[in-house]
């Protein structure tokens, strides 16, 4: 392989100290580069950062660590060693004053929904399998075709619309395909009765987690980069990017009220691609800026509440589907790791509100948000307002790249434009406007480094394009890149239960139906 001989002399500038940028920096130091990472916040980790308030650690989002990438897994263990814990998972859905286990448990679901509602869901499921939507463009169509309209309305619509702030009819099906592919009612029901050979990741019951949250990992990576000669400059916002034709020559950084121009030979950016293009000097052609202005983001904030209670609820997190409250999800950090709290006599919760930068929730004062959090916590019945002894608020901007309307065609235009640059690569979640988890963001950083070091031509846009890699997918299968469509039984079943045939599926459903019939009869009698 053709490795550059004098890497120490080649200056690589990396925009963003999140998982993608820091991974790229760490990898570069293995080849004697001394990269400079420019991070606008006062800490590393990006969206996966861990905030601290009086010794309580608040994970922005609740980051489970799971990956199919051997390199990424090795990276996590290499950095954290024994501080990388394996944790049990419990998560439930709160809807209409009831809790539903997630993954679905038969008795819990049957008793929770009631037999009539359960029967209606099964009937709706059959109807939509017999006569599905012909088109599967929107989230609503995609989910309805797989789960039936009734289940979609019950369990999918309210939470999805809280997260995205747009109607499910406007949200592209790609998001569902990325997040919940392979998880159908059939697979969920099958998993109640039969142990699959391959596990669906959404159904996994444990995960890895750094002892003090993901920020612990990213702080350790930052320290390693610095120890190996790299620089990680915090509070340094890139406000301009200077180019000469299709070469980037330097970036303009705002730091402590001063601006500084930092030149480089190679540039890697994990900042939002839209902002990157808008800050180019000279600016790109108007149609590029127009396409960039069409890409949208969703933001969220966490209201951190500290309770004078040892135990509040046993879950790691609860999805709040109930539309009567604004909160979307509640994290219980103690259950992620006891070391997220300075003392075990208390509980720290993170109430997540999905919003848009500048809207009523985003601009609400911290004090009002804490009051809102206390009120909603009491309304759900998880704790009394008086239990809350302290609170804090953390806002996370551009946390979700939105897949709406024509986003893909706009992104395609930007993709082609940035491909013309000879010494620039855009990486990570917002750099690629892709719903990437940490592992995929990291992989793009690793591949960008290989492109520099080995002059490889890795296409970063296709990382995680293979649907197989994502959260709800099947562990251990080779990527096929096939787009999932409503399919006959065996094709859907095979990935989940390779040794189980239609007959066994029939037995599973037969059991469920028998139970329904039995309880319905008992009820009527």
Ligand X SMILES: Cc1cc2nc3c(=O)[nH]c(=O)nc-3n(C[C@H](O)[C@H](O)[C@H](O)COP(=O)(O)OP(=O)(O)OC[C@H]3O[C@@H](n4cnc5c(N)ncnc54)[C@H](O)[C@@H]3O)c2cc1C
Tokens standing for residue 459: 């296409």
Residue for token digits 């402590």? 256
Choosing from 171, 200, 238, 241, the residue that interacts with ligand X (CB under 6 A) is 238
Residue 48 interacts with ligand X (CB under 6 A)?
Answer: yes
Phi-psi region of 428 (alpha: psi -120 to 50; beta: other; left: phi over 0): left
Q: How far is CA 152 from CA 157, 167, 175, 185, in A?
A: 6, 13, 15, 11
Residue 304 interacts with ligand X (CB under 6 A)?
Answer: no
* x/- track of binding to ligand X for residues 359-398 (CB under 6 A): ----------------------------------------
Least distance (Å) from ligand X to the CB of residue 449?
Answer: 14
Tokens standing for residue 30: 């293995």
Residues 260-279 that bind ligand X (CB under 6 A): 270-271
Q: Rounded CA gap, 468 and 230, in Å?
A: 35
DSSP-assigned letters across all residues of 234-280 = SSEEEEEEEEETTEEEEEEEEETTEEEEEE-SEEEE-S-HHHHHHTE
Choosing from 35, 61, 165, 401, the residue that interacts with ligand X (CB under 6 A) is 61
Least distance (Å) from ligand X to the CB of residue 114?
Answer: 32
Tokens standing for residue 302: 């966490």
Query: Do 299 and 396 touch, CB atoms closer than 8 A?
Result: yes
Least distance (Å) from ligand X to the CB of residue 272?
Answer: 7
Number of residues in contact with ligand X, rule: CB under 6 A? 32
Least distance (Å) from ligand X to the CB of residue 319?
Answer: 12
Closest CB to ligand X among 15 and 113? 15
Choosing from 27, 39, 51, 182, the residue that interacts with ligand X (CB under 6 A) is 39
Query: Do 62 and 471 touch, CB atoms closer than 8 A?
Result: no
Selected range binding ligand X among 85-93, 125-133, 148-156, 432-440, rule: CB under 6 A: 432-440
Least distance (Å) from ligand X to the CB of residue 473?
Answer: 14
Q: Is 335 helix (H, G, I), strand (E, B) or coil?
A: helix
Phi, psi for 521 (deg, rounded to 5): -65, -45
Residue 418 interacts with ligand X (CB under 6 A)?
Answer: no
Residue 124 interacts with ligand X (CB under 6 A)?
Answer: no
Choosing from 41, 252, 378, 512, the residue that interacts with ligand X (CB under 6 A) is 41
The residues that touch ligand X, with contacts defined as CB under 6 A, are: 15-21, 38-41, 46-48, 61, 63-64, 237-238, 270-271, 300, 399-400, 428-430, 436-439, 441
């Amino acid at each position: 392989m053709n490795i550059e001989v004098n890497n120490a002399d080649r200056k690589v500038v990396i925009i963003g100290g999140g998982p993608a940028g820091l991974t790229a920096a760490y990898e570069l130091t293995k080849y004697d580069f001394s990269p400079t990472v420019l991070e606008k916040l006062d800490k590393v980790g990006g969206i996966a950062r861990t905030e601290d308030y009086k010794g309580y650690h608040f994970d922005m989002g609740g980051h489970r660590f799971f990956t199919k990438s051997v390199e990424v897994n090795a990276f996590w263990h290499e950095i954290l060693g024994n501080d990388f814990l394996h944790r049990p998972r419990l998560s439930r859905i709160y809807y209409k004053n009831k809790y539903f286990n997630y993954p679905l448990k038969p008795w819990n679901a049957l008793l929770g929904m009631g037999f009539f509602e359960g029967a209606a869901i099964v009937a709706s499921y059959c109807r939509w399998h017999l006569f599905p939507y012909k088109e599967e463009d929107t989230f609503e169509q995609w989910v309805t075709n797989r789960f039936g309209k009734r289940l979609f309305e019950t369990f999918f619509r309210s939470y999805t619309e809280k997260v995205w702030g747009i109607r499910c009819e406007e949200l592209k099906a790609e998001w569902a395909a990325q997040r919940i592919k392979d998880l159908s009612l059939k697979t969920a029901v099958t998993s109640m009765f039969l142990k699959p050979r391959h596990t669906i990741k959404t159904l996994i019951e444990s995960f890895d987690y750094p002892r003090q949250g993901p920020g612990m990992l990213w702080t350790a990576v930052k320290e390693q980069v610095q120890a190996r000669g790299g620089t990680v400059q915090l509070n340094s916002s890139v406000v301009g990017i200077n180019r000469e034709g299709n070469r980037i020559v330097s970036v303009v950084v705002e730091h402590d009220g001063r601006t500084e121009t930092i030149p480089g030979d190679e540039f890697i950016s994990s900042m939002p691609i839209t902002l990157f293009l808008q800050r180019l000097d000279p600016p790109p052609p108007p149609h590029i800026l127009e396409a960039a202005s069409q890409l949208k983001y969703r933001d969220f904030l966490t209201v951190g509440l500290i309770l004078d209670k040892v135990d509040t609820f046993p879950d790691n997190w609860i999805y709040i589907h109930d539309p009567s409250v604004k909160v979307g999800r509640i994290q219980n950090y103690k259950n992620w790791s006891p070391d997220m709290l300075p003392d075990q006599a208390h509980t720290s919760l993170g109430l997540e509100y999905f919003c848009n930068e500048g809207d009523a929730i985003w601009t609400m004062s911290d004090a009002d948000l804490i009051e809102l959090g206390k009120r909603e916590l009491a309304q759900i019945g998880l704790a009394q307002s008086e239990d809350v002894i302290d609170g804090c608020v953390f806002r996370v901007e551009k946390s979700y790249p939105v897949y709406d309307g024509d986003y893909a065609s706009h992104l395609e235009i930007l993709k082609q434009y940035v491909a013309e640059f000879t010494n620039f690569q855009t990486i990570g979640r917002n750099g690629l406007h892709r719903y990437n988890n940490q592992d995929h963001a990291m992989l793009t950083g690793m591949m960008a480094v290989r492109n520099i070091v080995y002059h490889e031509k890795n296409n970063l846009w296709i990382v995680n394009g293979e649907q197989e890699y994502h959260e709800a997918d099947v562990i251990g299968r080779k990527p096929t890149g096939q787009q999932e469509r409503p399919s006959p039984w065996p094709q859907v079943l095979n990935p989940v239960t390779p040794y189980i045939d239609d007959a066994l599926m029939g037995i599973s459903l037969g059991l469920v139906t028998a139970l329904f019939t039995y309880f319905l009869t008992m009820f009527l009698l």
